[in-house]
Structure 1
Amino acid sequence: MPSPLVLAAILFAVLALALFVAGFYAIKQRRLLGTAASLTLAILLLSLAGLCATISVATQGYRAFTREEVAAVVETRPTGAQSFNATFRFPDGREKSFSLAGDEFYVDAHILKWKPIANFLGLHTAYELDRVSGRYVRLQDEQLRPRTVFALADDKLVDMFQLRRRFPLLKPLVDAEYGSATFMLASERARFEVRVSTTGLLIRRVLEDSL
């Protein structure tokens, strides 16, 4: 079923089309005041339809949540001194593997918290894992040794974080927008859960007899 935002965009677009038709009919009848009113309202509704459609596209990739949940399962496997492989498995079935340099893996995310009025449009607190990188324990290594960083988020035409900053009109709908990050030692073969809650990211090791 389409999201409330998509339904709202369709409704606004249909109403705008009807008003455009009414406006052109008023032109034929030479009712200038009626024409101006119809076309102005039609343009406004068309703008609202475009805004709803844009927000719907921009929030693709963000997963809504109301409590702590697993954002990804990560398996680490050392491949050498201060180097390891990290495989991410996401709730939607996607899988990505990365070769990282460092002692730890570091994950960050975008988190968007909407105001209650936006909840009626189907917008709820949502997150998107953004990047993964290798992290060194020693500051000197961090400054001098190779750095590795990769994208976890898929490319999209419009991203809600950038959209919010470009259009102040969205400010009344957004309660908070922030980044959150966490890291964990990757010195041995192990499995972890990257979890997200309303307070941010955290990592828990999955205890298993064998991996």
Structure 2
Amino acid sequence: MKVFLIVTLLAGALSLVFLIAGLSALRRGRAVRLANHLLFALLSFTLAALFATLAISTRGYQALTEEQTIATVTTRQTGPRKFEARFNFGDKPEKVFELAGDELYVDAHILKWQPVGNILGLKTVYELDRVAGRYSQLEDEQSLPRTVYSLADTKPLDLFDLRRRYRFLGPLVDAEYGSATFVPAMHEGRYTLRVSTSGLLIRKLKNQ
């Protein structure tokens, strides 16, 4: 996210300033100033590293302020209990998946921030995670072939996973949770995939 990148650059520049000041104090033989400058340089560098990690791990997440449309989804049957799901994102390349099952299933990660994040201007963010075919009967889910694909952007780190691993992110990230939705998909149809702060929702287009 842009705010993380800005803070990373500012903290990185600040650590460089303190490092240069520390080297100057070293040349002048001022041990106390050297220690102070190196301490502040280390703190600034740590802050820069933290926000760089946040910038990388939130790449692909979208800000969420109200219910909004993510994609238009078209489904059509391609065989017995098999169907094609075509995702049109508008501003990104279209994605097409061959799925097995009776229903189209989509889930997402949603992140909410603590007040300190809100002060920085951060909004609730989301990222689509998976698309899958879903069988309407539990017995079929347990015994028949399943098809699952990723909808998330490829990145080296993911804040959703980092929050669950490391408690120190607790003061920044208020809540992280998954949200899922599914609809019957054995007949041709067009749907809007939407998201709000309460989660995912898929609606059939009114002209269907």
Q: TM-score, normalised by structure 2?
A: 0.95
1:164 Cα deviation (Å)? Answer: 1.8
Contact 1:58-1:158 at 8 Å conserved across structures: yes
1:208 Cα deviation (Å)? Answer: 2.4
RMSD (CA atoms) = 1.4
What is the aligned partner in structure 1 of residue 19 from structure 2? 20
Counterpart secondary structure, 1:156: coil
- Stretches of 4+ aligned residues off by more than 6 angstroms: none
TM-aligned CA distance change 1:161 to 1:138, over 3 Å: same
Partner Cα separation in structure 1 for residue 16 and residue 141 of structure 2: 58
What is the aligned partner in structure 1 of residue 3 from structure 2? 4
1:194 Cα deviation (Å)? Answer: 1.2
Equivalent residue letter for 2:83: F
Q: TM-score, normalised by structure 1?
A: 0.94
Partner Cα separation in structure 1 for residue 24 and residue 164 of structure 2: 40
Partner Cα separation in structure 1 for residue 88 and residue 207 of structure 2: 17
What is the aligned partner in structure 2 of residue 159 from structure 1? 158
CA deviation profile, 1:95-119 (whole Å, cap 9, x unmatched): 1100000000111110001123212
How many residues were matched structurally?
208
CA deviation profile, 1:158-206 (whole Å, cap 9, x unmatched): 1111222333221101111000111000021111111111111111001
User: Gaps (5+ residues) in structure 1?
Assistant: none
User: Gaps (5+ residues) in structure 2?
Assistant: none
Contact 1:87-1:95 at 8 Å conserved across structures: yes
What is the aligned partner in structure 2 of residue 147 from structure 1? 146
Contact 1:3-1:122 at 8 Å conserved across structures: no
What is the aligned partner in structure 2 of residue 194 from structure 1? 193
1:35 Cα deviation (Å)? Answer: 0.5
What is the aligned partner in structure 2 of residue 172 from structure 1? 171
1:91 Cα deviation (Å)? Answer: 4.3
- Aligned ranges for residues 75-154 of structure 1 at < 5 Å? 75-154=74-153
TM-aligned CA distance change 1:123 to 1:22, over 3 Å: same
